[in-house]
Amino acid sequence: MNKLQERLFEQQNSKALLKQAQQAAFDYIVQQPKQRVFPDQANIEKLSVFEESLPNASCDPALLLALLDTVGSANTVAQTGGRYFGFVNGNALPVTLATKWLADVWDQNAALYVMSPIASKLESVCQTWLNQLFKLPEQTVAGFVSGTSIATLSGLAAARFRQLQKMGWDVNQQGLFSAPKLRLILGRQTHGTVAKAISLLGFGQASIEWVECDEQGRMIVEQLPALDPSCILVLQAGNVNSGAFDDFTRVCQLAEQAQAWVHIDGAFGLWAKASHVFDNQTKGMELADSWSVDAHKTLNTPYDCGIVMCKDAEALTNALHQQGSYIQFSEQRDGLMYTPEMSKRARAIELWAAMKYLGRFGIAELVELLHERAKLFAHLLTKHKFTVLNEVVFNQVVICCESEQLTQQTLTLVQQSGECWCGGSIWQDKKVIRISLCSWATTEQDIRRSVEVFVQARRQASKV
């Protein structure tokens, strides 16, 4: 045993570093409600302490952890609290955080059953539970990826494989050069990551046929072009600004008649299917061919936990197939069959914990809670003469002030306050403030406190 091994075994067996990290985490949980939602400039300037050349020698690991705690903790964004409303970033349920700690100690690679029987089993269980929760066809398979960006890429890769096969072309063997042309049909309000996935898959932006949307960001079905087997449509379960849902039933019925493929981008909105409160929005969602969703958003698992689901298992596995003489497949679930990666962390463990803990009724209660908080936020802002521009159908609120300049100045002051944080966007060709309710920890008091920040910020901005 060499000296490095001796040191590492000593650190592992003493557990002192784990205990130090545990105490730092406990302290962070206690202090988090009191800290700014976004760090102030004084703390951000302290990040310069990390700017150094790569050290030649080892350092004291306890000092390393202490540095990370004292400087790092103060420079986090407090999205695990109740007053972070930006980027549809979720919180982490306590049980999922604890589960991730344990799973991190296990440090499992979820690529193959022989690499991790527990990861394989929980992926299988989660797949079944997701199908039951979302009322998807029984044959639907799930792949567990980093987030909806990769989930969408995976779903569209499956669509590319199947639609080209219908046209007599094997993309795995023949590639894309000289392949029949596929038509990508997207609403004008489609999330930017979808266009990115389309580029990565080699289609090119010229392959996209844009469909106009209504005032809430829903694709106007009457403006769909004629469909055929070369078509891949992308719908939204939760517009990133307004939270609106496309008309799944009508579009999916038209697509089925034409043998077109439908993918639903449901990063945060797909979870609405868990509650009958949202039946009007989610009706027909199960008629699509593939879906993408994040558990680290609405379900409140830790980052990162995305899911691709596809009712055409052959298309997904062929699009994402893996070869190698050293790979030992099994009769059990081998996770790499359903994702682009081979090496991947066992993120389904936290997903299983969230779904096991909450159950069907708890998931419904959580999505309804986020909706109620969003409606309260919109109601209070309206009382204070802010203009709410969207129908609050789920967890998103879009607002503006009397002018775009005042809206932007108000947003800047809200972000600088440290009391809460939300982002800006462009909605109907004008600057707006976008509020996302995604944390289980957001209370009515958090919302009232945040609304007061908005009121003060607008008052201050009006004086400039």
Among 388, 394, 376, CA closest to 447 = 376
**Residue 335 and residue 144: Cα distance in Å, rounded?**
8
Backbone angles phi, psi at 368, to 5 degrees: -70, -35
Say if residues 424 and 66 touch (Cβ distance below 8 Å).
Answer: no
State the Cα torsion 404-245-298-126 to the nearest 10°.
-160
99-355 maps to which CATH number?
Answer: 3.40.640.10
pLDDT at 327: 87
Judge whether 377 and 383 are in contact, CB under 8 Å: no
Q: Are the CB atoms for 103 and 460 separated by under 8 Å?
A: no
pLDDT at 321: 82
Contacts of 3 (CB under 8 A, 6+ apart): none
The pairing of strands 141-145 and 430-436 is unpaired
8 A C-beta contact, residue 331 and residue 124? no
The predicted structure's pLDDT at residue 445: 98
Question: What pLDDT, on a 0 to 100 scale, did the predictor assign at position 323?
Answer: 79
Domains 99-355 and 368-463 share a fold: no
Long-range contacts of 106-111, Cβ-Cβ distance < 8 Å, separation of 24 or more:
106/346, 108/345, 108/346, 108/349, 109/343, 109/344, 109/345, 109/346, 110/144, 110/335, 110/344, 110/345, 110/346, 110/347, 110/348, 111/334, 111/335, 111/336, 111/341, 111/342, 111/343, 111/344
Distance CA 101, CA 95 (A): 10
Q: At what angle do helices 94-106 and 348-383 cross, to 10 degrees?
A: 150
pLDDT at 394: 98
Question: Residue 406: what pLDDT?
Answer: 98
β-strand 261-265 against 290-294: which pairing, if any?
parallel
The sheet with strand 141-145 has its strands ordered as: 141-145, 306-310, 290-294, 261-265, 231-236, 183-187, 208-211
Cβ 46 vs Cβ 76: under 8 Å:
no
Distance of alpha carbon 39 from alpha carbon 37, whole angstroms:
7
Whether cis (ω within 30° of 0) applies to the bond prior to 279 is no
Residue 294 has a pLDDT of 98
Residue 288, token pair as written in the block: 């699509």
Report residue 197 as tokens: 């996935």
Q: Which of 438, 353, 446 is nearest to 91 (CA)?
A: 438
DSSP 396-438: EEEEE-SSHHHHHHHHHHHHHHSS-B-EEEEETTEEEEEEE--
Pairwise CA distance, residues 316 & 309, whole Å = 9
The pairing of strands 306-310 and 290-294 is antiparallel
Identify the burial level of 204 via C-beta atoms within 10 angstroms of its C-beta, where 0-12 means exposed, 13-18 middle and 19 or more buried.
exposed
What per-residue confidence (pLDDT) applies to 19?
Answer: 97
Please check whether residue 392 is in contact with residue 384, taking contact to mean a CB–CB distance below 8 angstroms.
Answer: no
Token couple for 92: 């982490």
Rounded CA-CA distance 361/47 in Å is: 43
Cα separation, 373 vs 396, in Å, equals 10
Q: Assess contact for 211 and 219: CB atoms under 8 A.
A: yes
Paired strand residues for 245 = 237
Low-confidence residues of the chain, pLDDT below 50?
A: none
pLDDT digits (tens, 9 = 90+) for 416-448: 999 999 999 999 999 999 999 999 999 999 999
Report pLDDT for 204.
Answer: 87
Name the residue ranges covered by the structural domains of the chain. Answer: 99-355, 368-463
CA 211, 213, 219, 221 torsion-angle sign: negative
Tell me the CATH number of domain 368-463, given options 2.30.110.10, 3.40.190.10, 3.90.1150.10, 3.40.50.2300: 3.90.1150.10
Q: Residues 376, 377, 380, 383: what is their CA dihedral angle, to the nearest 10 degrees?
A: -110
Q: What is the mean pLDDT of the chain?
A: 97
